[in-house]
Every structure is written in C-alpha cells, then in structure tokens.
Amino acid sequence: DGGITQSPKYLFRKEGQNVTLSCEQNLNHDAMYWYRQDPGQGLRLIYYSQIVNDFQKGDIAEGYSVSREKKESFPLTVTSAQKNPTAFYLCASSSGTGVQPQHFGDGTRLSIL
C-alpha cells in the first residue's frame, strides 16, 4: 500500500543539538515538501524539492536544512540555529506534474527538553 512514512512520531531535542526527521515515500512522486504546523495554525512551507538533488527554500527555511539524494527520501534537519523548534512537522509529496494534490505523512512532533 503506497504512502508516506515519517519517523519518529515524537522527538525531543536538547539545547544546541541538531536533530533529523525522516520522510520516505513509495508513491513514485517527484516532488516532496516539509511543513511546520503550530497549534491552531495552518501549514507553513519550510523546504520543497521537485527533483532529486535539487531543493528550494520555502517561507520559513532559516534554522533548517534538507537533502534529496534519493527520489524516495527527503530528510529534514532542525539545527541549533532554529530557536523555536517546538512544532508538528509534516512531510508531503505530489506527482509534480500538473495541478496535483499533496499526500501527507502522519507527522513528527518535536519538543525541547
């Protein structure tokens, strides 16, 4: 059954620590996205990638980094430069051609220790 898998479901970060959130898809989609969702708010775009080995900054990229070495995988690193990392992080993918909806994983909730 095709879909998007995010791991871990819960993650805790200590001060000064970088943490990496995993996102894997088996939908054969070209485009992948990372969003941040804060309580009672919509989705804000962090980074997106339309093709392997290429990615673009979204609206709130500061303090985050990504890589896209494989079509199936788009990991997000939350660096120590991100001073307010506590949020719900969502990964999505779409076929990338034409006007297509995005398919989402079930998120990773990141908290500060």
List interacting residues with other proteins (CB under 8 A). Answer: 4, 6, 31, 33, 35, 40-45, 48, 50, 90, 92, 94-107, 109
Q: What is the residue whose two structure tokens read 């804060």?
A: 38
Positive or negative torsion for Cα 108, 58, 101, 77: negative
Q: How far is the CB of 111 from other proteins (least distance, A)?
A: 14
Q: Closest CB to other proteins among 35 and 74?
A: 35
Q: What are phi and psi of 68, to 5 degrees?
A: -140, 75
Q: How far is the CB of 80 from other proteins (least distance, A)?
A: 27
* Alpha carbon distance 20, 70 (integer Å): 16
Q: Closest CB to other proteins among 16 and 98?
A: 98
* Residue 89 neighbours by CB distance under 10 Å: 22
Q: How far is the CB of 15 from other proteins (least distance, A)?
A: 26
Q: How far is the CB of 55 from other proteins (least distance, A)?
A: 12
Q: Which residues touch 80 (CB under 8 Å, ≥6 apart)?
A: 15, 16, 17, 18
Q: Closest CB to other proteins among 4 and 87?
A: 4
Q: Closest CB to other proteins among 13 and 109?
A: 109
